[in-house]
Amino acid sequence: MTAASPGSWMRGARRAMARLPSIRMGRVPDAPALSVRDPWPGDAARGAQLIKGELAIGGAIQILRQGGWNQIDGNAALRAGAFGFTWLRDLRALGTDAARLRARALVAEWIAGPPADPIAHRPDVAGARITAWLGHYDFFAATADDVFRQRLMNRLVSEARALSAALPAEELDARALTAMKGLIAAAVALREHAGFLARALRFLPQEIARQILPDGCHAERSPAAQLSALQDLTEIRALFQTSQTTAPPILAHAIERMAPALRMMRHGDGGLALFNGSREETSTLVDLVLTQAGRGGRSPSALADGGFHRMQAGRTVVIVDCGVPAPAGLDRLAHAGTLSMELSVGRDRLIVNCGAFLTGPPEWRDAARATAAHSTLVIGDINSSELKPEGLGRRPTLVEVNREEAAGAHWLDVSHDGWRKPFNAVHRRRLYMAESGEDIRGEDLIEAPDPQPFTLRFHLHPDVQVSVQQDGTAVLLKLKGGTFWRLRADGARMSLEETIYLGGAEPRRSEQVVLTGFADGSQHVKWALSKVERAG
């Protein structure tokens, strides 16, 4: 048996002691001292599903069975979503008496028999749950009887004590911010427990400094993590304002940097680009998060520390992953998608990555992380980063970028060494966008002493209609808005294959254009994507 680290042992001891009965538990208020508001919109349709016993999380459905919270199954992400209670906002959005009573009943079941599942008591899950209970207190608890409200307040104090004892959280990624948000929410609502705030303030500044890069990109290099972390930090700032507590200066500085970085990661439809465990999300939510963050600076064309580049001209947006993958401890959701690209025209997505299905079966999660699930080149069916359950193994260590702009046109030359070890090869991608945004040209080449088998993939959004043209060297693409684009290629065999799109509310079938290198042929593919006036 491996001995636990001193820090881990101390955290475990503090948490065990926090759960023991104590005379301090007698200091439980009758109601929250200050109102904690959940600022994010719910989904009334998902609320209606909850009334029927179906909990929708991340595109998956969890059936709420008889027997309480110990009957929850599914993978870790699905269970964490269920145990975090953020879905209370869906019942609030529904807003009926049935929704209110359903919320109250589910909270009461938790109080009567919390699950033994360790995920239920993970700091980030407990932090989300505490924040959700307090943020929706007026909806489901204010009109309840005295017995329920007192049991709820007792449970809140107990969970906040355990959360306080668990800090600093072992999770090094954005989940640590959710944990601290929960403790700060408890400190605001439970004024008798001033120690909660002192403990959160002890760790919050260093956590922000570690997670938010100088350019405002979250260290996980994920648009989804960027959105989630910015949500947490804006909520934390609001909690400080509610309690008239002076926030550490680093909090405002982080929010100010993060908002422009988030804008940079959006497509024309207002949703997120699909890198490193991300889904589209709704433009309404992203808009609201940016509004809550306040006026930030102009959206940058590149994130020097995060490693993303954005080329925009006319109505066309291209976003490219030009960075080294997130380091160990922050790479739990990292994909092997270095140099992958996405392209949208106005509100229509054209070229995409497959996205993520974190609450789905393990094989779906693994497939979505593979290089082949991204719009980029793959050598020998080997991922550019080695995928492991806890993160990445072998990965690119050097990503070189050269960018130029002139008269509205963009040039991007980028390379990575992720295949240096298995193939002694470097992938180089060159991109050009004309000032109109209607002419995009690319080159993908392999720099290696020996020819390597490769495929170059362009995953298409499910709303795109595609047909092979001419002699098999071009395809015609019809966007949802009715415009036509043509993709041509030279130096590889072109074909269409099925793919899956995981970026939306549920998985959807789609197609991909696949360029396969010729055996012992050129290691250089040239391609061009241009708007055409008609289908002919």
Give the position of tokens 């260093």. Answer: 206
| H helix runs in 167-278, sequence order | 175-189, 195-211, 223-242, 249-264
What are the tens digits of pLDDT across the range 462-509? 999 999 987 888 999 999 999 999 999 999 999 999 999 999 988 999
CA angle 284, 241, 256 (to 5 degrees): 55
Q: What mean pLDDT comes out for the span 502-526?
A: 91
Give the position of tokens 């409200």. Answer: 149
CA distances from residue 302 to 244, 323, 380, 388, 404 in whole angstroms, order as listed: 37, 11, 31, 29, 12
Tokens of 87: 């879905």
Whether 125 contacts 78, CB under 8 Å:
no
Pairing of strands 341-345, 60-63: unpaired
Whether 114 contacts 159, CB under 8 Å:
no
Reported as a pLDDT band with limits 50, 70 and 90, residue 169 is confident
What's the pLDDT score for residue 3? 44
Instruction: Report the share of the chain in percent with pLDDT over 70.
Output: 94
Tokens of 4: 């636990």
Task: Decide: residue 520, CB within 10 A, 0-12 exposed, 13-18 middle, 19+ buried.
Answer: exposed
Reported as a pLDDT band with limits 50, 70 and 90, residue 12 is low
Reported as a pLDDT band with limits 50, 70 and 90, residue 205 is very high
Chosen CATH of 308-532 out of 1.20.120.420, 3.50.30.40, 2.70.98.70, 3.40.640.10: 2.70.98.70
What are the tens digits of pLDDT across the range 321-371? 999 999 999 999 999 999 999 999 999 999 999 999 999 888 888 899 999
Tokens of 533: 């006036």
Q: How far apart are CA 242 and CA 39, in angstroms?
A: 13
Reported as a pLDDT band with limits 50, 70 and 90, residue 132 is very high
Tokens of 334: 């990292």
Reported as a pLDDT band with limits 50, 70 and 90, residue 1 is very low
The structural domains of the chain, with segments of one domain joined by +, span 308-532
What's the pLDDT score for residue 234? 98
Helix H or strand E encompassing 459: strand 454-460
Q: How far apart are CA 504 and CA 319, in angstroms?
A: 18
Q: How far apart are CA 81 and CA 129, in angstroms?
A: 10
